[in-house]
Chain A
Amino acid sequence: MAKKPSASHAAALDDNAPIGDVDADRRAFLVNTTTAFGLAGAACVAAPFIKSMAPNRAVRAQATVDINLAQIPLGEVKTFLWQGKPVFIWHRNAEQIARAKAGDATATMDPEKDAARVKKDEWLILLGICTHLGCVPIRGGDFGGWRCPCHGSEYDDSGRVRHGPAGANLAVPPYRFLDDTTVRIG
């Protein structure tokens, strides 16, 4: 384990100082210990810097927005902003609700019953972000819901995916009804 001093600095070494194996071992142990301890410290210093880039006070970011539902006519969909993202709220009429429920059996790509996706049948509240790569779908498509202009995914009137390349249904954000005409998203 003893590291021989190179010829260039052998001359600087004191000829009277003993260079035994004990010294060399001690040196190696100390160097390894100090280095390990130092690296552990460096990792602990790196952590706060990396964390500083993460969303800060995430709790704060969970802002809520209260929507007045009276502004949405029956049968229509309107888009609102929540946490910087679009939210679709569809005031569904009886015909649209029936169609959505009928789709329970035929929506096979990401099976989910319409009842599991709404709290009240006439209010469909969805995150307006395509589950493929994040574009905002527009009303249209063959399934009564939406079509994504980016790559052609299609969603039905419950927001379920019916045509790829997306593979998952449109997400339902957290929400609750404050009263009959107000819903709080988030």
Chain B
Amino acid sequence: MPALLFLLLAAFFPLFAANAQQEPTFPAQKWTFQGVPGSWDKAQILRGYTVATQVCLACHSFKYFTHRDLMQVGFTESEVKTLAKALNMNIDQPLLTAQDDETAKATFGKVPPDLSMITKAREGGPDYVYALLTGFSEDPAEISKTFPQGMPPNTHFNRAFPGHAIAMPSPLSAPDLVTYSDGTSATIPQMAKDVTTFLDFVAEPERTERQRLGVYVLLYLVIFTLLAYVTKRAIWKDVKGH
């Protein structure tokens, strides 16, 4: 009975992995922050920050990000102060867009959402965000397959966005929108990868420490459980029926 019951209840979990909707799935990307040895690549975070502040910040806020947070990936206080100063901010101020809600609503039909939590607030996480940023298309053949009457007003076709009609025009519309200080070529996929990494860092800065610590805790528990099991067997040895 016990074994069967466990198996049955374990069946609960895969059920919730199954996606209810016919939503597009996103190809899994390789991220530096994934997995147990995951880490934040300082250079990539800086590149992502560059894209975020020079492209996205025009319309989107990052309210939970302050420049001081960059010190967690290895920047010194003075490096961080320099970056903040370039935006006329101090290192403890939240990164907010200058665009006001009324203008945004008039231009796009809705207020662009805050991006601090975006990789946690969307199904598919970083893979989805990357797919979104690289998923814009102007190909008439592709568009007319989904929207034979043409795109709804004020929307743009995107392969990844649920419903495929997004109010945001392609932000990474061409390569070299920014110039990377480390010389990396700013192709669209590169910029998308970098900014998504930055966004994941903003959403979950504790991620790498969490993944690292987990190993030690699990190792401890495995040893403890084994010890407890052996002790249990020793104590139960002389009970009738065992």
Asked if A and B form a direct contact in the complex, defined as CB atoms under 8 angstroms apart, the reply is yes
Q: Which residues of A contact B (CB under 8 A)?
A: 12-14, 17, 19, 23, 26-27, 30-31, 33-34, 37-38, 41, 44, 59-60, 63
Chain B 84-103 near chain A by CB (<8 Å), digits 1 or 0: 00000000100000000000
* B234 near A30: Cβ-Cβ < 8 Å: yes
> Taking the complex as formed, is B237 at the interface, i.e. its CB lies under 8 A from any CB of chain A?
yes
* A30 near B231: Cβ-Cβ < 8 Å: yes
Contacts of A23 in B (CB 8 A): 234, 237-238
Contacts of B240 in A (CB 8 A): 12-14
25 A-B pairs within 8 Å (CB atoms) are namely: A12-B239, A13-B238, A14-B238, A14-B242, A17-B237, A19-B238, A23-B234, A23-B237, A23-B238, A26-B234, A30-B231, A30-B234, A31-B231, A33-B227, A33-B231, A34-B224, A34-B231, A37-B223, A38-B224, A38-B228, A41-B220, A41-B221, A59-B68, A60-B68, A60-B92
Nearest chain-B residue to A27 (Cβ)? B234
Report the bound CA distance from A59 to B230 in whole Å.
Answer: 47
Contacts of B241 in A (CB 8 A): 14
Nearest chain-A residue to B92 (Cβ)? A60
Nearest chain-B residue to A28 (Cβ)? B234
Contacts of B223 in A (CB 8 A): 37
- A101 shortest CB reach to chain B, Å: 37
Interface centre among B68, B240, B241 (most CB of A within 10 A): B240
* B238 near A30: Cβ-Cβ < 8 Å: no
Report the bound CA distance from A19 to B230 in whole Å.
Answer: 17
* B234 near A63: Cβ-Cβ < 8 Å: no
Chain B 194-229 near chain A by CB (<8 Å), digits 1 or 0: 000000000000000000000000001101100110
Report the bound CA distance from A34 to B231 in whole Å.
Answer: 8
- A182 shortest CB reach to chain B, Å: 15
> Taking the complex as formed, is B17 at the interface, i.e. its CB lies under 8 A from any CB of chain A?
no
Instruction: Tell me the interface secondary structure of chain B in the complex.
Output: helix
> Taking the complex as formed, is B235 at the interface, i.e. its CB lies under 8 A from any CB of chain A?
yes
* B230 near A30: Cβ-Cβ < 8 Å: yes
Report the bound CA distance from A67 to B240 in whole Å.
Answer: 81
- B57 shortest CB reach to chain A, Å: 22
Interface centre among A30, A31, A41, A60 (most CB of B within 10 A): A30
Which of B92, B220, B231, B237 contacts A63 (CB under 8 A)? B92
Report the bound CA distance from A38 to B238 in whole Å.
Answer: 25
* A13 near B230: Cβ-Cβ < 8 Å: no
Contacts of B228 in A (CB 8 A): 34, 38
- A28 shortest CB reach to chain B, Å: 9
Given known contacts A30-B234, A60-B92, A63-B92, is B239 in contact with A37 (CB within 8 Å)?
no
Report the bound CA distance from A13 to B238 in whole Å.
Answer: 5
Report the bound CA distance from A41 to B222 in whole Å.
Answer: 12
Which of B227, B230, B239 contacts A14 (CB under 8 A)? B239
- B186 shortest CB reach to chain A, Å: 33
* B238 near A17: Cβ-Cβ < 8 Å: yes
Contacts of A41 in B (CB 8 A): 220-221, 224
Report the bound CA distance from A37 to B227 in whole Å.
Answer: 9
Contacts of B227 in A (CB 8 A): 30, 33-34, 37
Report the bound CA distance from A38 to B234 in whole Å.
Answer: 18
Q: Please give me the 7 A-B residue pairs with the lowest Cβ-Cβ distance, nearest first.
A: A30-B231, A17-B238, A34-B227, A14-B240, A13-B238, A34-B231, A27-B234
Contacts of A17 in B (CB 8 A): 237-238
CB neighbors of A among B184-199 (8 A):
none
With A33-B227, A34-B224, A34-B227 known, 10 other A-B pairs at CB within 8 A are: A12-B240, A13-B238, A13-B240, A17-B237, A23-B237, A31-B235, A37-B224, A37-B227, A44-B220, A60-B92
